[in-house]
Amino acid sequence: MPSGLDGRAFSVRDALDLGVSPGRLRRRDLAAPFHGVRMPAVVGSPDLWSRCRAYAARMPRGQFYSHLTAAAMHGLPVPRRFDAGSLHVSTISPAQSPRAAGIIGHRLSPGAADIGSLRRLPVVSILDAWCQCATLLSIDELVITGDHIIGDRYPQKTGEQLWQAVECRKGSRGVRSLVAAAELIRPGSESPKETELRLLLIRGGLPEPELNVDVFGKSGRFIGRGDLVYRGHKVLVEYDGSQHADDRRQFRRDVDRLEDFAADDWRVVRVLKEHMNADRADIVTRVRNALTSQGWRP
């Protein structure tokens, strides 16, 4: 292969122009992810960025990534059922929507999206991507992705900006889902499971907790940072994923921190991944019992 094509996706036309024979393009060390495109063959399915770069080798001017594909490119926690799905690609009217195997095409109205670039690939903005997912994701999935946008340790947008994006889509398909989700989105969540846990508790009739806040003891000494905190009743709800047990240093820090909470008269409810995969009503009951034991009344 010519040095300019080695190790990356390229169009068949470019390869033929450089003197590569049709027979060479049919060898097993090359994969054909899209018609007219070749890329180095890999074990298993290529990741999202590899597929996006592969289609970009034949992407006409004026097309760009959108919807779930753009959301994943921006780092939003897209449900796993879409991991190996087709790529969402859009154009602006009056251009025709893209049509190709492995591509879900969309045609947008002029001004319907802000288009920028990520890793030199054309893509809609993170808020446009989130709004476009309204017809593809459930309300809870929209809340999870929205929490990621305005929450996490490094929020990318504010809640006000998110609401402004929703307001701009009045009358559009999916706007009711966007409004329902936006009303439940909160800053501070640092993982999809934390969001799921928060939604579970408030739908179970419990008060809404604070998210990932610093907690100080009676003497003013910093105790630690809590996942879901009921400060007024001194109840802490902690979600522990598998990484807490796999990382022994993190596990030790967690044990020491939770003992400090207990020494300051906090009730700690630990929720494991296995609990979330089992009877979730039991989680609500455990948190409710902790709150009532600390003086909370419905």
Per-residue pLDDT of the chain (298 residues; tens, 9 = 90+): 888 898 899 999 999 999 999 999 999 999 999 999 999 998 888 899 999 999 999 999 999 999 999 999 999 999 988 887 899 999 999 999 999 999 999 999 999 999 999 999 999 999 999 999 999 999 999 999 999 999 877 789 999 999 999 999 998 899 999 999 999 999 999 999 999 999 999 999 999 999 999 999 888 889 888 999 999 999 999 998 755 555 667 667 777 888 888 889 999 999 998 998 888 999 999 999 999 999 999 8
Same domain, 95 and 44: no
Within a domain: 43: yes
Same domain, 169 and 206: no
At 153 the three-state DSSP class reads coil
Same domain, 68 and 148: yes
Within a domain: 156: yes
In degrees, to the nearest 5, what angle opens at C-alpha 185 toward C-alphas 245 and 205?
Answer: 80
Q: Model-level pTM?
A: 0.90
136: left (phi over 0), alpha (psi -120 to 50) or beta: alpha
Within a domain: 128: yes
Tally of domains within the chain = 3
Within a domain: 127: yes
DSSP 134: G
DSSP 19: T
Which amino acid does the sequence have at 57?
A
Same domain, 151 and 204: no
The rounded Cα 233 to chain-centroid distance in angstroms is 32
Within a domain: 4: no
CATH number of the domain bearing residue 239: 3.40.960
Same domain, 100 and 20: no
Same domain, 81 and 106: yes
Within a domain: 298: no
Q: Among residues 182, 211, 234, which one ends one of the domains?
A: 182
Please answer whether residues 96 and 88 qualify as being in contact, where contact means their C-beta atoms are separated by less than 8 angstroms: no
